[in-house]
Amino acid sequence: MQIISILGIAVALAMDAFAVAIATGVNLKQVSLRQTFRLSWHFGLFQALMPIIGWGLGTSIEVYVKTYAHWVAFILLALVGTNMLREAVQLDDGDAGDAPVKDSTRGMTMVMLSIATSIDALAVGLSMSLLNVAIIYPAIIIGLVAGAFTMVGLHLGKRVAGVTWLSTWAEILGGLVLWLIGLNILRENGVFSALFGM
C-alpha cells in the first residue's frame, strides 16, 4: 500500500480524535504538557493498536465488528458528551468555584474516549487483512497522525476556552460535537436508514 493512501486513511481516522481533543481542550481550559502527552499518547496508541487487532482477528470477527462497533462508539461518545453538557450547565448556573473540572485525560474517561475514537481503525485493520496488506507500517503511521492531530486539537480547544464569554458555549458545543460524531457513526453504518428508511 502506498504512503499517500496510508496517510489518507490516517488523516480520515484522526478526524474523530481531533474533534474530541478540541472538545477536551475546551472542557479543561488549561492544558499541561503532561495532559497533552497523556491524551495524544493514548489516542495514538489506540489508533495504532486497533488496526493490528482487526488485522489479527481477520474474518473471524467481521460480523461482530460490522454489527456492534458503531453502537459501542456511539454509547461511549454519548456518555462523555452528556457529562460535558452537564458540567457546562452547572458552571453556567454559578457553581464554577465549587466544582472542579473533570480531567478527561485521566482514568476511565480517557480509555472510553480512546476506544470510541479508534473503533473505525479496527474495521480498517480488518479490511487490510482481507486485502492481504501488511499492517505494522500503516498502523504506526495511523498512530502518529492521530497523536499529532490530538495535540493540535487539544491546544486549539484550550485557546477557544480562553475567551471567557465563549467558554461555557464552547463547552456545550464540545458536548454536542461528541453526540454528533456518535450519531454520524450510526448514520455511516446505516442505522438510520434501517430505522427510518432514509
Specify if 41 maps to a domain: yes
Specify if 103 maps to a domain: yes
Instruction: Determine the pLDDT at residue 151.
Output: 95
Instruction: Determine the pLDDT at residue 172.
Output: 77
User: Measured between alpha carbons, how far is 120 from 14 in angstroms, rounded to an integer?
Assistant: 10
Which regions of the chain are under pLDDT 50?
95-98
- Specify whether the CB–CB gap between 122 and 54 falls below 8 A: yes
Contacts of 131 (CB under 8 A, 6+ apart): none
Full domain range(s) for residue 127: 3-188
Q: What is the pLDDT of residues 69-114, one digit of tens each?
A: 778 778 877 877 787 777 767 655 554 444 556 788 888 888 988 9
Specify if 197 maps to a domain: no
Instruction: Determine the pLDDT at residue 168.
Output: 67
Specify if 196 maps to a domain: no
- Specify whether the CB–CB gap between 90 and 99 falls below 8 A: yes
Specify if 8 maps to a domain: yes
Residue located via cell numbers 504538557? 33
Domain count, the chain: 1
Specify if 119 maps to a domain: yes
Specify if 198 maps to a domain: no
Specify if 94 maps to a domain: yes
Residue located via cell numbers 464569554? 165
